[in-house]
Amino acid sequence: MRQIIECVPNFSDGRRPEVYNAIADSIRAVRGTRILDLSADPDHNRTVITFVGDIATVEEAAVKMIATAAQLINLDEHEGEHPRIGATDVVPFIPVKGATSADCVALAQRVGQRVGDELGVTVYLYGAAASRPEREKLADIRKGQYEKWREEIGQNPNRDPDFGPAEPKSWGATVIGVRPFLIAYNLYLNSDNVDVAKKIAAAVRFTSGGLRFVQAMGFLVEGQAQVSMNLTDFEKTPIHRVQEMVTREAARYGLTVTKAELVGLTPQKALLEAAKYYLQLDDLEDGQVLEIKLLEPEEKPDFTPYDLLAATAGATPTPGGGSSAAAAGALAAALTEMVANLTVGRKKYADFEVEGQRILARAAAIRQELAACVMADAAAFDQLMAAWRNKELDEAAKATAVEAATAHAGELPLRVARLSLEAAQLAQAMTANGNSNAITDAAAGAVLAQAAVQIAGMNVRINGLNLQDKELAVRWANEVDGLVTAVNQIAAATIQTAAQRAGF
């Protein structure tokens, strides 16, 4: 099953397109992520981005976007309606498909650790990832906003972070956690009286006696009073119930709701439930909605890599052995990742949970990198051929271009070999400790990784023969010897372990 994690980070800038677009670009730069929505609000001075990916890609994108926001947003100069504590204010992870809340908690902890260690950003964990009960609610962590945090960090022990430095920085702190789907839902009133909006918000929100799973505040937005709400569990407190309560409370003051607004994305089910309520379609089934019916898969998808096979079989030198090595290494990592997915979160393997989560994340990252190397290897060879055939260069310039292209053509398969060896090591660990029903799949990963290292090693050696830099060629050859020896030992040991655990 394809793994999908949703991430809905909030950034403290909604007025400068060059800033929030740069942050979005840092997310897009991570292959495998997909931005579903970007909503910038100049009044709140806040941008909400919704993107999805698997655990490894979401982790990498989260670190990159926090780094970008820290460089571009100065909280000392920030003003806006919405409460905030950091440049990247909050980073919630939501399991959508093929992942659990526990997976996202581990993800939040890894991202928090990396952001604290690598970026020097103060991090607090909230929601299901909270390190202590008083930090489960975002509002409690953000109390007093950036200004109060800046005064107290490093002075008040209650402000000590989960990760990162306990000292004030202009990018503030970032709150990272795990939560269910949250619907950001705003209702506008036919008035500019923000005090009334605040009274209605107080009546609706749970903390002051209102509806469970509703957070609400009153704002003045473009001259119109707004009741701004977060619905933290739409299945238990649906949109239509919130709408009706706000409408009744507004009527007390002689006001009406003029329009509603969704910020970011909402689950389809939430809108269907509202439609059932207002249209009294109590027996409406999802399959009666045309678009939902059309999206239902008719059969199991065909994942045969026809394009790669056809391209490899063609009458061109690329893709060739180097691309095939990268593909084999990517498959090795994918098999390891599969076995890890079948292992983590299961009581039988609880003692291996932490290591299993680490292997899962690393195998996913290696798979992504090696998959990118399939095309990159072909491009490196084409670049080398172009250097050889370039008739516009004099002999000296051509020699320099060929040497540089040869070095690149050798370094790339060397990287493939290194990553594939690491994939073999991860496969060995999963064979020894992973789900007993998938032992041979993990062992197959080690054997594929062995092939990848050996094939890539041959490509490194052949490019080394053409190098003018003989010292570099010798270093390549020595490293390849070590990689091949190591992967052969790992593959042999892994096959033996698989045989012992499986009993054949």
Tell me whether residue 71 is exposed, middle or buried, using C-beta atoms within 10 angstroms of its C-beta: 0 to 12, 13 to 18, 19 or more: middle
Q: Which residue among 44, 78, 82, 240 is the active-site one?
A: 82
Residue 153 carries which DSSP code? T
Q: How far lies 251's CA from each of 199, 206, 244, 248, 257, in Å?
A: 12, 20, 11, 5, 9
Smallest Cα–Cα separation from 307: which of 370, 367, 375? 375
DSSP secondary structure code for residue 175 in this structure: E
Overall size of the chain counted in residues: 504
Residue 408 known to be catalytic: no
Helix (H) or strand (E) holding 16: none
Are residues 89 and 99 in contact, defined by beta-carbon separation less than 8 angstroms?
A: no
What contacts 6, CB < 8 A, 6 or more positions away? 50, 51, 52, 93, 94, 95, 96, 181
Query: What is the distance between the alpha carbons of residues 365 and 160, in angstroms, rounded to a whole number?
Result: 31
Token duo for residue 249: 């409370």
Helix axes 55-72, 353-389, angle to 10 degrees: 80
Tokens representing 174 are: 């970032």
The CA-CA-CA angle for residues 83, 89, 91, to 5°, reads 130
Q: Which amino acid is at 394?
A: D
Beta strands in 194-351 (DSSP E): 214-221, 224-231, 257-263
Name which of 54, 50, 52, 62 is nearest 3 in CA terms: 54
Q: Provide the strand spans (E) within 205-320.
A: 214-221, 224-231, 257-263
CA pair distance 492, 428, nearest whole angstrom? 10
Nearest to 244 by CA among 221, 260, 222: 260
| Catalytic annotation, residues | 82
